[in-house]
Chain A
Amino acid sequence: MSHITDGDLHAYLDKALDAGAYGPAEAERIRAHLEGCAACAQRLDAERALRERATGILENADPGAVPLASFEELKARAAVTGGPSDRTSKFRLSWRSPYAIGLGWAATIALALWAGYSVKDFAPNPSGRSPVVSEPMRAREAAAADDQPGELDRKNDQAQASEVEAAAVTEAPGLVSSERAVRSRAGAPAAVPAEVVEDQDVAIDPAVRKEVAPADQPPASSREDFAAAPSNETGGVAGRVLDARKTLEQELSREGATAVDGLLLLSGERGSADVPGLDIRRIETVELPGIGPATLIVHVLPDGGDLELWSLSNSELAAASPRTAPEQRVAELAAYFRNSLPLRWSMSVQERSGGYLVARGPLPQDELDALMERVLDGG
């Protein structure tokens, strides 16, 4: 039986085990060991004293009460030299940006939105059916398109958010477990949150639910769509998600979010692999300037390197850049993705039903092409 490391002792003292920094099994192992090992329990006491001493030292360096400017004052200051940057900047593509890396963590997995697209694009569609897009969603998209320019970004965000929900229901049934573990927190009336808490069977930290405070009720159709989600289809995001340890609570607190308009909780068994044999490091969505939204699934190559698979849907591309002819898409996408291609990386762009798939990675071109074929063939 191996003893607990100093690092794990400090993680225990820092309550990092409780906060999900460690996987549940590892956290339980550490706790169990500390209960049964007198030597480690003694070390824990020593490390606790060390930790308190270090904390006390740092408190000695506290600046004391520092008078701060008011928020209004800072806001006025910010307004003097300009407003918020272009809204697209928050999605600006940076292949190795802290933002992108930050998204990765513990499987900050891409959205159900994009789970929809990614499942559709990466995994074989056993039913052979085209993805279903709900009429209410189409209506919302149309409404957003009719908005004033100044409202467009916000509306797009909302429409996109709604689309996540719809996509989760209509396009990613594989994410829905047979136990029907999908609950629409967004659709729950604010007055009865307990119903949602009691009803769900996924182990999201209760504290997360506490923070969830629906501000805007989504269209009722969303809830209906959600309830009507099929639960018996196969598919799903595949592979082993690395370091999937964080809870939503951490995500929420990290961003300084004070309200959440909606939260979907999905649960499902792993399905077929999108790239057989490769783990998934992370999944994220990126708004590509001038292109449109894309889903990125980063796989882990055997040598530890990243393999990027980008999925773009025809409908999204058409909405984002309606003037581009479909036959120009491949060239446009190739130019776009090649522009930021890291050194010694290869790239492959393929058209497929419903959209496009772009693979990029530190592989020889022939290996990447072969891998792409495997993806397109569904493994």
Chain B
Amino acid sequence: MQEDRTRTSLWVGAQEEGSRLEFGVRLSVTIDWAELYRETLPDLVRFLHRKVWDPERARDLAQEAFVRALRERPDKPRAWLFTVAANLARDEARTAIRRKRHLTLLHSESAGRVSPDDPADDLEREERWEAVRRALRELGERDREVLLLWDAGWDYGEIAEETGLAVGAVGTTLARARRRLVEAHEQEEGSNVAHH
């Protein structure tokens, strides 16, 4: 029987104020997995969608990652979830397995199709995604990752830890990534207009 709440025992934070050190020692932390699921999954799906460009696959990968988290009970579940989910997406891309429902990944029977009913809406949305997808591909890998993590709600410190960047370099990376994204997207739009 899986428990909905788990406890981790120790964590410490510190900050420096001049010559003074300030410590905060967290003695025991309870992680409410149900709440974590509610709060994190939408961000995770959003993050993954920018990698797999398929809402259902993003949802399935996110849920699979969460199932694994429930088994592993990592101490830092949010970072763990994003890392595992990103690896799942990358592994999937590497093996070129893109068929839906042919994997063992969780697929909720109760979950329906995401696509809107109107084919015109569907097409417009696909075109919109494609433009963003192409623009994102113009970014360097690290810039793209930093931008997507920020977009998924990560803060600078978390991004720095995940990517190995210095905290002070996250802003620089984001500035560059945003600029490149906007430029590339404008080029996409320009070429689309010319094409039409």
Contacts and interface: CB of A to CB of B under 8 A. Distances in A.
Interface of A: 5-11, 14, 16, 19-24, 47, 50-51, 53-55, 57-58, 60-71, 73-75, 77-79, 81-85, 89-90, 98-99, 101-102, 104-113, 115, 154, 157-158, 160-162, 164-165, 168, 175, 177, 186, 202-204, 208, 215-216, 218, 236-237, 240-241, 243-248, 250-270, 283, 285
In order of increasing CB-CB distance, the 4 nearest A-B pairs are A7-B172, A69-B108, A11-B171, A7-B171
A66 B59 contact: yes
B180 to A, nearest CB: 9
Contact of B111 (A10, A69, A107, A186): A69
B21 A270 contact: yes
Contacts of B177: 54
A164 B27 contact: yes
A248 B58 CA distance: 31
11 contacts: A9-B175, A21-B160, A68-B59, A84-B72, A111-B10, A113-B25, A204-B22, A215-B30, A251-B11, A261-B28, A263-B27
Interface in B1-50: 1-2, 4, 6-17, 19-42, 45-46, 49-50
B1 A267 contact: no
B23 to A, nearest CB: 4
Contact of B12 (A7, A21, A82, A109): A109
Interface in B47-79: 49-50, 53, 55-56, 58-59, 63, 66-68, 70-79
Contact of A84 (B50, B73, B111, B156): B73
Contacts of A175: 23
Contact of B9 (A157, A177, A237, A259): A157
Q: Size class of B's contact patch?
A: 35 or more
B131 interface: yes
Contacts of B33: 71, 75
Contacts of B32: 258-259
B156 A263 contact: no
Nearest to B35: A258
A106 B10 CA distance: 16
Given A66-B55, A78-B68, 7 more contacts: A51-B178, A61-B53, A63-B58, A71-B34, A108-B13, A245-B15, A256-B39
Given A11-B156, A62-B49, A258-B35, A50 B182 contact: yes
Contacts of B19: 269-270
Contacts of A108: 11-14
Given A60-B131, A69-B63, A106-B14, A257 B29 contact: yes
B119 interface: no
> By DSSP majority rule, is chain B's interface helix, strand, loop, or mixed?
helix
Contacts of A245: 15-16, 157, 167
Contacts of B147: 54, 58
A256 B34 CA distance: 11
Nearest to A241: B16
A222 B24 CA distance: 17
A109 B167 contact: no
A90 B1 contact: no
A65 B2 CA distance: 28
A168 to B, nearest CB: 7
B38 to A, nearest CB: 7
A204 B74 CA distance: 26
Contact of B108 (A65, A73, A81): A73
B10 A164 contact: yes
Max count, chain B CB within 10 A of own CB: residue among A67, A241, A253: A67
